[in-house]
Amino acid sequence: MKSLKVLCLTHEDFVPPARASERKDFHDEQWRTEQYVFATLAKLGHEARMLGVRYDLGVLRTALEEFKPDIVFNLLEEFHDQPIYDQNVVSYLELMQVPYTGCNPRGMVLARDKALTRKVLSYHRIPGPEFAVFAKGKKIKRPKKLSMPLFVKSQIEEASLGISQASVVQSDAELEERVRFMHEKVNTDVIVEEYIEGRELYVGILGAERLVVLPIWELVFENMPDNVPHIATRRVKWDPKYQKKRGIVSREAHGLSPELRQRIQSVCKRTYRALGLSGYARIDLRLRADGEIYVIEANPNPEIAFQEDFADSAKKQGYSYEDLIQRVLALGLRGR
């Protein structure tokens, strides 16, 4: 690939500080993904510039006019402090006819809304847990189709925001209490779904028409008590001390038969296509002990930092981190 002018787009709080390239211990910083991508683009010979936005699209328009990038590397996860607005920024890039990496706006809209995702997948006969939506200000009453235990989470938020062990409820009283908590603290509508006991699997996918399915990854709970739900809570995802204490590791899934691996990969590709995703995404699943597969949600533009799940599974597939970033760029250009 020829040398490109790449504008790295992110939240203004995640712009790496000056001299960040001289540091070797920044993996725990909130701007680590931006720094890994920025440094890798430079290593690949591209001319990269970092741009932070929060409230004003004017700074993006100015950067597009002055820098004239060949492509925007999209690392933005929200705009105006709203996670559902990032898709609108991508739409703006399309209106400006500027190529970008990652998912298209329509795929982001479908995948962001977990209830809408479930409806689309149900139409395509892709298995998922039974669910119901509890809107803010509405009466909280469990539909008969939902049996305990149930899992309560935000309809639109990501990164396990608002998810804790209390998110798995065993009674109508616990359900009402948790839904009210989410309405008040997270300030979104709530999706309540069957809690699927089983293994937590993640599958990364690259591509648009031709898809590359990365090795199946698993979140493993080595020291978690059996009576505690094995779910990806906020602490499980983001608290290194808790991860060490409970032996929580993310690694390639073991013990899956070739037939089961093929079924999982097929379900994930069908999910990717049904939601109209592009660029790269991660499909989250639950695998019951009897081999039943349930798609929990789809995540366009997942975490792409070095030594995180997506990059590690890509490495297992044979992609170095530089290869991965270059391929994401190529997919963005091809989408244009």
What is the predicted pLDDT for the residue at 77?
92
> What string of DSSP letters covers 247-312?
TEEEEE--S--HHHHHHHHHHHHHHHHHTT--SEEEEEEEE-TTS-EEEEEEEES----TTSHHHH
Query: Rg (Cα) of the chain, in Å, rounded?
Result: 20
Statement: the pTM of the whole predicted model exceeds 0.75: yes
What is the Cα–Cα distance from 8 to 310, expressed in whole angstroms? 19
Strands 199-207 and 47-53: unpaired
**Tokens, residue 276:** 């109209």
**Cα separation of the two ends of the chain:** 16
Burial of 69 (0-12, 13-18, 19+ CB in 10 A): buried
What is the predicted pLDDT for the residue at 130?
96
What is the predicted pLDDT for the residue at 97?
96
Residue-by-residue pLDDT tens, the chain, 336 positions:
789 999 999 999 999 998 888 787 887 788 999 999 999 999 999 999 999 999 999 999 999 999 999 999 999 999 998 888 999 999 999 999 999 999 999 999 999 999 999 999 999 999 999 999 999 999 999 999 999 999 999 998 886 788 989 999 999 999 999 999 999 999 999 999 999 999 999 999 999 889 999 999 999 998 888 788 888 888 888 788 888 888 899 999 999 999 999 999 999 999 999 999 999 999 999 999 999 999 999 999 999 999 999 999 999 999 999 999 999 999 999 975
Q: Tally Cβ neighbours within 10 Å of residue 26.
A: 16
What is the predicted pLDDT for the residue at 336?
59
Domains of the chain and CATH, by start: 5-101 (3.40.50.20), 130-194 (3.30.1490), 197-335 (3.30.470.20)
